[in-house]
Amino acid sequence: MSMLDLFAWLVLIVLLFSTIAVVVMVAMLPGMIARRRGHPWAEAVAIGGWVTLFLGFVLWPVILIWAYVDVPVRQAGAAEAGQ
């Protein structure tokens, strides 16, 4: 093997590991955002991010939006008035 072949293999390996790292970071992103923002279902958002990894990131934008959307907390008076 020539030096050029070794360099090509090195570049290929670095690109492979970089691609894997980026995919893992993208899958983790919604869960990290949800936890940082104190989302009530942060764990579900995190699981959704990982599930979309196996589905080809088709629903990943929906999970990312879900990480930013919080359910408003009901006031104690509003809960009693609704009953």
For every residue of 47-71, DSSP letters joined together read HHHHHHHHTTTSSHHHHHHHHH--P
Regarding pTM above 0.85, the answer is: no
Residue 48's alpha-carbon distances to 29, 40, 44, 52, 59, in angstroms, are 11, 14, 6, 6, 9
Residues 6+ apart with CB under 8 A from 57: 26
pLDDT single digits (tens) 11-67: 999 999 999 999 999 999 999 999 999 999 999 999 999 999 889 889 999 999 999
pLDDT single digits (tens) 70-80: 766 666 665 55
- Residue 36: its pLDDT value, please? 95
